[in-house]
Amino acid sequence: MNFRNIDINVGDMEDKVSIVANLLESDSDAQPDDIWNDGWTYELILVNNEEGSLLGKEIKLTFTDIIDSYEEKRTLTELPPLLESVWELSIVLDNEDNGKEYEVNQQIARTEAKINKIRVSPVAFTVDFDWKRQMKTETSIGANGETEAFEHAVNPPELMGVVLEDGTVLENITDFYNGHYTNEEFTQYQARGVFNQFIEYENVKELIFYAEGEIGMEAEKVYVSVK
């Protein structure tokens, strides 16, 4: 289940904020009546797509209809809602920004990328790399049927998960991944993204990256310990 639509209004930041949202899994033995009576926990992660802070701003959320999202995806059909209604919620983020910065200073195996540090919060991360700009030549078939060559920039390996101090492995938990060079020499790179679930940011033991090796070799998971 999910909502048909969620609208966000954050004043002058309306076009700069996106959302990751889902119902958390309930007890597998729960009956439908139990779910409706006891409720489900709905997780919202707001993503600020530009510089600036959401702290202290009023965030207005409008939720429309509850639908069977699985059946709609399976049948590629917009079905009648399970519950037709509109709910409105206004919140102000008046808490303090929190997170933890880890000094890493390690090379990612099988790559030329070196991680200097990573800052992790319960819902987001920022990774600082030593990474020299690289260009890669690829080929494709053009509109006229002829092979064409083109170049594109190669980015450092992407963070895809973490290992916690208690041994819990969380994979494929990153979204909205993007990055940019932070110096004119194109040797320092910063990547940012969000987690699609809350994590225990103060208990991160290892970082998990997908690292590509030589051409023709499949990407492999590489673990990097943090201090």
Q: Which of 30, 65, 92 is the last residue of a domain?
A: 92
For residues 86 and 24, membership in a common domain is answered with yes
DSSP code at position 166 = T
3-state helix/strand/coil string of 116-157:
EEEEECCCEEEEEEECCCEEEEEEEECCCCCEEEEEEEECCC
Residues 6+ positions from 168 with CB-CB distance below 8 Å:
none
Query: Is the full-model pTM beyond 0.85?
Result: no
Picking from 66, 92, 118, the residue at the C-terminal end of a domain is 92
Average pLDDT, the chain: 81
**Looking at the structure, do residues 62 and 153 belong to the same domain, yes or no?**
no
Q: Are residues 79 and 128 in the same domain?
A: no
Q: Kindly report, residue by residue over 164-214, the tens digit of the pLDDT.
A: 999 999 999 998 778 889 899 999 999 988 888 889 999 999 999 988 654
Print the domain residue range for 42: 2-92
